[in-house]
Structure 1
């Protein structure tokens, strides 16, 4: 009876408090927190709040007792009390990680009835920014068991080329391994755009204009009507037909929507929807001369393809109203538009024109130059598609602008590769050493410290190669460990077992046999496009081009080129 009145002496409560203290201590480096323990105890037993002053000293005493234990003792006692604790924590951690990888819910999305689109303009090689847009649209379609379309917005003959179509197709289908439901070329629907333009003219919602871009801009700033708005429909139709026939030189006439030159959104002030361009189109040739601008073609395509959700960066914010207005004039369906914040890629050149100029000048080696963040450059360096998928979920639909540095990508990629990449030895500046008394033996090394990725062998002896930077470590009268071989002191063999090194040694270094038959010349292309030449173990010749490995104490690298007596890698990151 007294136990029920005095919770401080209730065995069930004190046992629970000790369990909570042990759990908290194990989670936080051996020191349990009073606030965390008492908070959890009260959460589990709300009635204790009535006797809080009574229970506090008991909880504090339990915490003090637990904190006096060593970490090993805390773990042993907790395992006796709660054998499932470690498993529960691992599952909780994995669930939290999985939650971070989940995209937030998509408004107005119904399972099995979501259609998104990846809509690149084929005017440059895609970079990581394009990849994020592609993946966000693709992953949402996948999340809701819908479809995702690859749509080439190719109505600008002056900028677009088959070269870029091929590059985007390769990067999307091959590297990112995305399979769109179908591939669409916007320029294939020119006759449809013409028909819709005819409809706008007949309903008095479009007119032809001979204003120059400068005159249009001045009128928009002044919110001043263009007298051409009052042309008779018959005149507009005649001039429009001549536009389609190619009777006008480039830049002399346009077709504009008639909305309002006093609209608060400047984009809505009688925007141009068609222009004359006689440049041959990479796909349509010289068949068409009047070309739709992006907003007009895009607005119609969303309807034609049944797109339910448009997911794009906030740079298009002012254009949503225009595209919805075009569809409303034509009686077409408006998709749900969701925008995410535009992000900047720090320290990277992404402008297609500037990149091409540097390639043509010889400054860059190509669109896969390691200094770039094009998809083919990232792929060549060893950035996995899984890393880009995860980055897309992190960016998700955030409305907060952000900057992404390469280190962010590297952090994700490193965690992925750490579980899958085989380990090898590479020495960039070999220095010969002799280890007095070292045995000649064949050692077996695991290709991965924890995963079953096979083994490899090296035949070693007293003659070895080590990194030049490691040489001073051998003259300090301290125990040094040669990975999976032996322990040495002052260049003299000391012992084999790692236990003899543990707690006594200072450094663990890698090495290679001083034996040309076990070595292969190796070049590693670095992120700044410079190269490092050294030697790697010949076991690396078993790799295939494209394999990503870790050179121990150097970094993750992707095998780019394999020759009989030479390997070339690209450095990914440390």
Structure 2
């Protein structure tokens, strides 16, 4: 703060600033609105320096005086007329307590900081154009090199709510689990879900800088993330709230199903899904929505296993028909994912809205490490963040 104080004194000595003790409302209505200088503006340097000391030593109460910079009372923009650059505040500061009582305004501190730190480019929202003009006024008083000011329009997220203060309140209240909660939309939460930093960076850079307001969808980030992470993401089956059906007539000796670890990279091999049978029947779980769509007697395919015919007349069941993929494709039959009941893994999937989807996963996911980014086929991408009796994942996107 001492640096800001030194510049304040220097600006007063240069007669570029003055201490105003007018009532703020009176100043606004009688001087600012009417473009008239107040009596304080023409006081001597000596009187202004004396007033400055009174601001520091407590003679002036809070709101009793402020330092104004002479941006001009005839400026066409009323907001620019002799703007306040330092004011008195007796609120306790979280770091320095009550050590200081005179504090710089944002645009004044920026103007000094940007020079002292050697900033060359300033990128900020167009709602801060006024602040930029006040900075420029300070720079020109001293003849400093001026950083390039670049403004951009408001960025509105149509499918995300970004509010740090709101998220913090909900974390403190216990409604959110912490900054990794997907509803905070914090960088921590995006990392927790497996969003690669380069995906966010690329989607943002593609927007460019424009003064026009932009409505942005997180789908752009998800698209970039898919490009970056898809090739490394192993595949697996996950079934939410499964409907359990019994499959009969599977050929003898068929103990495992083999599914590709990644369909685009056959050289990576396959994952084995054991097929534990009881009384020659294989109990499997299939998605409820698929069970409802498949009619009684309809031919469908269990992905990477076999073609079966549905039986809904008694207990839900299915009968093995064939292995031929072309048969189901020719008939435009449904191909669905599934999980064997005997060795299924309990899974909890945290969705973007914070809800928990419970289900079961295939046995192979038990061998994946915490931090693995995978794709649940026909469900979406997710990242494993905890493994105990239940495997916990955070949903990333489709």
Same fold, TM exceeding 0.5? yes
Residue 368 of structure 2 is aligned to residue 543 of structure 1: yes
Inter-CA distance 543–308: structure 2 relative to 1 (3 Å threshold): same
Aligned partners of 1:473 and 1:480 also within 8 Å? no
Task: Flag the structure with higher helix content.
Answer: 1
Per-residue deviation, residues 278-306 of structure 1 (Å, max 9, x unmatched):
33434444443222111111112222222
Are 1:221 and 2:33 an aligned pair? yes
Shift of 1:459: 0.8
Corresponding residue for residue 508 of structure 1: 335
User: 2-side partners of 1:368 and 1:239: how far apart?
Assistant: 50
Does structure 1 residue 416 correspond to structure 2 residue 231?
Answer: no
In the other structure, the counterpart of 1:407 is 219
Q: What do the CA deviations read for 1:541-570 (whole angstroms, capped 9, x no partner)?
A: 33333332221111222223222x112222
Mapped contact 1:251–1:277 kept (Cα < 8 A): yes
Match of 2:15 in 1: 204
Q: Is the 8 A contact 1:425 1:510 kept in 2?
A: yes
Higher relative contact order (CA 8 A, sep 6+): 2
Conserved in 1, the CA contact under 8 Å of 2:71 and 2:137?
Answer: no
| Structure richer in strand, relative to its length | 2
Rounded to whole Å, the distance in 1 between the matches of 2:250 and 2:393 is 32
Match of 2:84 in 1: 272
Asked if 1:456 is matched to 2:271, the reply is yes
- Aligned-residue Cα RMSD (Å) equals 2.4
Q: Please report how far the alpha carbon of residue 444 of structure 1 lies from its aligned counterpart in structure 2 after TM superposition.
A: 2.7
Post-superposition offset of 1:273: 0.8
Gaps of 5+ in 2: 311-317
Q: CA deviation at 1:244?
A: 3.4
Q: Tell me which residue corresponds to 2:260.
A: 446
SS of residue matched to 2:206: helix
CA distance in 2, matches of 1:474, 1:521: 25
- Which of these residues, 387, 395, 398, is aligned with residue 571 of structure 1? 395
**How far, CA to CA, are the matches of 1:328 and 1:270 in structure 2?**
16
1:84-122: CA deviation from partner (whole Å, max 9, x where unpaired): xxxxxxxxxxxxxxxxxxxxxxxxxxxxxxxxxxxxxxx
Shift of 1:463: 2.5
Shift of 1:257: 0.4
Asked if the contact 2:180/2:192 (under 8 Å) is kept, the reply is: yes
Relative to structure 1, the CA distance from residue 410 to residue 216 in structure 2 (aligned partners, 3 Å threshold; closer, same or farther) is farther
Instruction: Give yes or no for contact 1:433–1:463 (8 Å, CA) kept in 2.
Output: yes
**Matches of 2:196 and 2:334, distance apart in 1:** 32
TM-score with structure 1 length normalisation?
0.62
Q: Deviations over 1:366-392 (max 9, x none)?
A: 444323322223333333212211121
Partners of 1:252 and 1:411 in 2: how far apart?
Answer: 55
How far residue 456 of structure 1 moved from its aligned partner, in angstroms, is 2.2
* Structure 2 match to 1:17: none
Whether the 8 Å contact between 1:349 and 1:355 is mirrored in structure 2 is no
CA distance in structure 2 between the partners assigned to 1:472 and 1:353 by the alignment: 44
Q: Deviations over 1:158-180 (max 9, x none)?
A: xxxxxxxxxxxxxxxxxxxxxxx
For 1:546 and 1:506, the matched residues in 2 are separated by 36
Distance in structure 2 (CA, Å) of the matches to 1:223 and 1:454:
78
Unmatched segments (≥5 aa) in structure 1? 1-189
Distance (whole Å) between structure 1 residues aligned to residue 269 and residue 8 of structure 2: 65
Q: Which residue of 2 aligns with 1:526?
A: 351
Q: TM-score, normalised by structure 2?
A: 0.87
**Secondary structure at 1:418's aligned position in 2?**
helix
- Relative distance call for 1:273 and 1:527 in structure 2 (3 A) is same
Contact 2:302 2:308 (8 Å CA) reproduced: yes
Q: Which residue of 2 is the match for residue 164 of structure 1?
A: none
Cα offset, 1:528, TM superposition = 2.3
Q: 1:313 to 1:259 in 2, by over 3 A?
A: closer
**What secondary structure, in the 3-state scheme, does the structure 2 residue paired with 1:318 have?**
helix
The equivalent residue for 1:318 is 130
Partners of 2:23 and 2:361 in 1: how far apart? Answer: 64
Please give the residue correspondences for 1:99-138 in structure 2 after superposition, counting only pairs within 5 Å.
none
What is the aligned residue count? Answer: 382
Verify: 1:243 aligned to 2:55, yes or no: yes
**1:43-442 pair list within 5 angstroms:** 190-218=1-29, 219-346=31-158, 348-439=160-251, 440-442=254-256
- Quick one: distance in 1 between partners of 2:128 and 2:205? 21
Residue matched to 2:291: 471
Residue of structure 2 equivalent to 1:22: none
Cα distance change of structure 1 residues 520 and 214 upon mapping to structure 2, 3 Å threshold:
farther
1:547-562 counterparts in 2 under 5 A?
Answer: 547-562=372-387
